[in-house]
């Protein structure tokens, strides 16, 4: 009986071992991905030499009581950064006009070879794709879906955007609802793949890229219009609230399981620090909110938010966003 | 020796099962939760985790003036109805689904932009069990297309 058990158990164990090994290779977040990155990383876009944040920069970027509170909590905490599709929608609803000169050229895809640059530009191209779709620039949307596909493939995100997705998009280019559903689905596929394969840091970088692209488009499209009473200016300044969440997401992903700082997140923090300093000069105050139930089952959250900034400080935000976005697409 | 093989086999199977269970939340979110957002457009973000009975989670997000949103919080069939509450930054309660027939969705619009906190709780099942049940919980947001 023992012998029979051995005969049957050995192949079973070997088969399981092979399956599990394949799984762990596929999951990507661990050493396999690191070595691939090392191979790709010669001359990559770390625009700072820092590999670890010093205390001063750490405290300046992350330090406040609210953040510490979250870290101390044992329960699961999610921080939700606006997705590329939501970012594009917010721009449009604030009165932005479409200008394809502002988009990151899809000829640049070959430039992006490191994990960080591919992740940033997956976010950037997805925001550009969403922006073009919302304004019914269908051929541009198609071209940018291909650029996003190229970035996703470079990041080994399998099946997020396949040829079937491109065909579906091509067949439905004139139906905006379907196009937006396709964009939403592909982004969900990418972000869920990364998060479920323990690559939350990469998922965070994708979101930061997409969010900065939205901010870049908004700051370019606002031009030299007066600040007061300009809804696009308000939308830009309100991003201080989203930036608080961006910082928390970066704090969540700064250290790996061994307590070592992730160099991609460190370099991103150094790139975003000037934006932190610029947003520090924006004052956002919100009155207490209350919820009022409407007749159509839609509640309204009633409150008043006031945003204050000096014109020179608003100009500084525009300059800083331009510099950050330029560094992302290089 | 035989015992060692069994132990190794058991460990491998447990690893494999836990990997698979985690992957199930993606499918759960797409198939079971995303449809709850219709006719709103899903923003594309993915927030899901395996939670045990009695466990809690918080989500922070900025919502923008003039936008209309649908929030959907869904739990796997093995879990009791998920409870969720929405608070503003000053911790004022804005919505409690236990006072709304344990609804899985809440539709709302914002008069002004602000950060809100969504507090999620998997209640403990009234039926006693040897082990607390575990299942996927997904939080999704949809918005309305605000113009041609």
DSSP sequence for A294-324: -TTS-EEEE--EEEE--HHHHHHHHHHHHHH
CB contact under 8 A, B108 and A83: no
Interface A-B, measured as beta-carbon pairs within 8 A, has a size of 196
pLDDT tens per residue across span A252-278: 999 988 889 999 999 999 999 999 999
pLDDT at A26: 34
**Nearest-CB residue to B58 (from A13, A77, A244):** A77
CB contact under 8 A, A187 and B45: yes
Indicate if the pLDDT at residue B31 is higher than 50: yes
Search chain A and give the residue with CA nearest B62.
A242
pLDDT band at A296 (very low <50, low <70, confident <90, very high): confident
List chain B residues with CB under 8 Å of A288.
88, 90, 92
List chain B residues with CB under 8 Å of A86.
43-45, 141, 143
Could you give the CA distance from residue A4 to residue A7 in angstroms, rounded to a whole number? 5
**Nearest-CB residue to B94 (from A89, A301, A304):** A301
* Structural domain boundaries in chain A: 50-329
Indicate if the pLDDT at residue A33 is higher than 50: no
Show the tokens assigned to A12: 């079973």
Nearest to A314 by CA among A227, A239, A218, A216: A227
Of A14-18, A118-122, A278-282, B23-27, least confident by mean pLDDT is A14-18
Q: What CATH number is attached to the domain comprising B88?
A: 2.60.120.380
Strands B105-110 and A299-302: parallel
Nearest to B12 by CA among A16, A329, A307, A189: A16
B67 interfaces chain A, CB cutoff of 8 Å: yes
List chain A residues with CB under 8 Å of B72.
none
Indicate if the pLDDT at residue A144 is higher than 60: yes
pLDDT tens per residue across span B46-94: 999 999 999 999 999 999 999 999 999 999 999 999 999 999 999 999 9
pLDDT at A64: 59
List chain B residues with CB under 8 Å of A80.
45, 47, 59-61, 141
pLDDT at B5: 59
Helix, strand, or coil (residue A5): helix
pLDDT at B2: 57
What is the residue range of B29's domain?
2-143
More confident residue, A158 or A21: A158
**Nearest-CB residue to A9 (from B9, B23, B43):** B9
B38 interfaces chain A, CB cutoff of 8 Å: no
pLDDT at A207: 96
Indicate if the pLDDT at residue A190 is higher than 90: yes
Do the Cβ atoms of A134 and A88 come closer than 8 Å? yes
pLDDT at A327: 97
CB contact under 8 A, B42 and A6: no
List chain A residues with CB under 8 Å of B75.
none
Residue B59 lies in a domain: yes
B45 interfaces chain A, CB cutoff of 8 Å: yes
List chain B residues with CB under 8 Å of A186.
44
List chain A residues with CB under 8 Å of B37.
none
Overall number of domains in chain B: 1
pLDDT band at A49 (very low <50, low <70, confident <90, very high): low
Search chain B and give the residue with CA nearest A238.
B113
Average pLDDT, integer, range B14-20:
45
- What ipTM was predicted for this assembly? 0.84
Residues contacting residue A318 through CB under 8 Å, at least 6 positions apart: A219, A222
Residue B148 lies in a domain: no
Do the Cβ atoms of A36 and B31 come closer than 8 Å? no
CB contact under 8 A, A16 and B62: no
Residue B78 lies in a domain: yes
pLDDT tens per residue across span A198-216: 999 999 999 999 999 999 9
CB contact under 8 A, A89 and B112: no
pLDDT band at A182 (very low <50, low <70, confident <90, very high): very high
CB contact under 8 A, A286 and B112: yes
H or E element at residue B105: strand B105-110
pLDDT band at A29 (very low <50, low <70, confident <90, very high): very low
CB contact residues (below 8 A), chain B span 5-34, against chain A: 5-6, 8-9, 12-13, 15-16, 19, 22-23, 25-26, 29-30, 34
pLDDT at A48: 55
């Amino acid at each position: 009986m023992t012998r029979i058990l051995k005969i049957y158990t050995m192949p079973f164990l070997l088969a399981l071992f092979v399956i599990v090994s394949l799984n762990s290779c596929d999951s990507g977040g661990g050493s396999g991905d690191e070595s691939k990155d090392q191979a790709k990383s010669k001359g990559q876009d770390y625009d700072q030499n820092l590999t670890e944040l010093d205390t001063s920069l750490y405290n300046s970027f992350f330090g406040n009581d609210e953040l510490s509170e979250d870290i101390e909590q044992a329960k699961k905490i999610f921080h939700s950064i606006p997705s590329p599709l939501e970012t594009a929608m917010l721009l449009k609803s604030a009165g932005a006009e479409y200008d394809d000169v502002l988009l990151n050229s899809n000829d640049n895809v070959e430039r992006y070879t490191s994990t960080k640059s591919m992740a940033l530009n997956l976010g950037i191209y997805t925001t550009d794709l969403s922006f073009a779709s919302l304004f019914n620039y269908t051929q541009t949307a198609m071209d940018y879906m291909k650029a996003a596909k190229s970035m996703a493939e470079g990041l080994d995100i399998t099946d997020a955007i396949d040829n079937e997705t491109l065909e579906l998009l091509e067949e439905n280019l004139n139906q905006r609802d379907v196009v937006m559903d396709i964009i939403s689905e592909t982004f969900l596929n990418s972000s869920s793949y990364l998060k479920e394969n323990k690559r939350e840091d990469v998922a965070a970088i994708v979101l930061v890229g997409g969010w900065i692209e939205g901010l870049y488009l908004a700051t370019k499209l606002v031009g030299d219009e007066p600040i007061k009473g300009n809804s696009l200016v308000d939308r830009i300044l309100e991003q201080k609230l989203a930036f608080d969440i961006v910082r928390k997401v970066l704090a969540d992903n700064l250290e790996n399981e061994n307590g070592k700082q992730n160099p991609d997140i460190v370099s991103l923090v150094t790139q975003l620090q000037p934006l932190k300093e610029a947003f520090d000069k924006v004052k956002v105050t919100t009155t207490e909110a209350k919820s009022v139930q409407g007749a159509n089952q839609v509640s309204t959250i009633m409150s008043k938010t006031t945003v204050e900034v000096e014109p020179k400080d608003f100009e500084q935000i525009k300059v800083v966003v331009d510099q950050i976005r330029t560094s992302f697409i290089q | 020796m035989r015992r060692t093989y069994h132990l190794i086999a058991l460990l491998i199977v447990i690893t494999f099962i836990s990997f698979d269970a985690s992957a199930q939340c993606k499918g759960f979110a797409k198939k079971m939760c995303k449809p709850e957002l219709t006719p709103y457009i899903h923003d594309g973000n993915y927030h899901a985790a395996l939670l045990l009975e009695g466990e809690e989670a918080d989500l922070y997000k900025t919502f923008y003036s003039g936008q209309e949103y649908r929030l959907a919080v869904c739990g796997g069939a093995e879990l009791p109805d998920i409870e969720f509450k929405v608070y503003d930054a000053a911790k004022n309660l804005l919505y409690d689904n236990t006072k709304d027939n344990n609804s899985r969705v809440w539709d709302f619009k914002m008069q002004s932009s602000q950060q809100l906190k969504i507090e999620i709780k998997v209640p403990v099942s009234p039926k006693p069990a040897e082990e607390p049940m575990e299942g996927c919980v997904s939080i999704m947001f949809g918005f309305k297309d605000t113009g041609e």
